[in-house]
Structure 1
Amino acid sequence: MIKQAKKQLLMAAAMAALGLSASASFAKDIVVDTKGEVPYVIDARNVVARSGTDLCWRTGYWTPAAATNTMAGNLPVGCECDKDVVPADKCAPAAAPAAGARAAAPAAVAPVGEKVKLAADTLFEFNKAVLLPAGKSKLDDLAAKSKDMKLEVILAVGHTDRIGGDAYNQKLSEKRAAAVKTYLVGKGVEANRVYTEGKGEKQPVTTGKCNNLGKDSGKNKKLVECLQPDRRVEIEVIGTK
């Protein structure tokens, strides 16, 4: 949190130097609840920084789920910054009670988040983005579980190992995430509820475990096998029960 706050203050200061502001030329400030990781750049007043064209400045923490779950008053901050991402029902203000009517206490609905990391060897072979039968079985289970909740968004983030060029691996990670989305949509999940992203080789889970195994090459069987956990798609399901 301290590092995040420092980064945000530095970004806000840099924007001020460029003549940009968090709120000076806009109808109202977007004041963010700073609990957890804030997905937008904020100034010292916790006001979202915006460009001259009224676009909110995102941080590296931004995802559709973060835009939905981070609050600005009684509504998600994404209702102001990313209306095309946050479900419309999340941005509807509560109806005022009729005159003389006693307002009932709203029932607390806790968001339910289930993070599923699919095993790499059940999803993709080396250098491929084709789902294997074992991976399809796990996605079948995931699609079935999503029907038991009010689904908000499914995040599918693709990854690769370090073998190959950065640009190639970025595209491969995107293809893997897209393959998961295509399969889930085929199982009845709404396409606009599935958000895909590729991280390329930037977020390995093997870290230094596979060093000193020889040349980074697809022909190096020991290295390919060691790096298999990095060839994955991480899926996060966000919804309410």
Structure 2
Amino acid sequence: MKASKQIFGMFSAVVLVAFFGTACAESFPEKTGYLIDSRGNVVKNAYGECWRTGYWTPAMAIEECDPDLVLKKVPTSAEPTSSAPAPVIAPPPPPPVSAPAPAPAKPVVQVRFNAETLFDFDRAVVKPEGQKILDEKIVASMKIYPEVAMLIIVGHADRIGTEAYNQNLSERRANAVKAYLVKQGIPAERMKASGKGESDPDPEANTMQACKGLRGNRLIACLQPDRRVTVESQKRTPE
């Protein structure tokens, strides 16, 4: 009896497949991998399994019936996965910083030199320390700026001693500065040297009032601003 039921069930299934296969073959003449009803839906059994046709191959598998056989879409290089971190691009190195070029010497306008910077006391010979200062302040500038046509060199003295002596000392000091500059390559015709003795005290120091009543070394120290040499430039006039 049990064997008869099994035979009957198998017979029914064969009949069902044959029926739907005939019906679907009429509606969908193309070869399909699954049994399709008249509405275009895949036919399934009582367990929700899709009925395969005799044409079925793994290549015909669909997601609805055989999801394990469907080829998964492999992401291409144009579609990066979210798990892959974006490449880190290092910023370009900063441009090298070159050392600033030394500032060129400025043209002479007016330079004031204390007499003690250039000369020993009561002397008119330029000291080595004074020569170095003249090189930095005057010589370098005159060689760079040819538009400076003339240097006016003026010597000054304090009021200690006779007026004639101070006049002579101021002239000798101005000429000593000019002679040194000539040795350094500055043409003599581009310089004029003169002395004013004690007639032109330093206007900023106002020694006439500041040193009033002083004697000896205190007076010598107070009158120091009056003992000086100034160098002033005159630009070349256009012809």
**TM-score, scaled to structure 1:** 0.49
Larger Rg: 2
**TM-score, scaled to structure 2:** 0.49
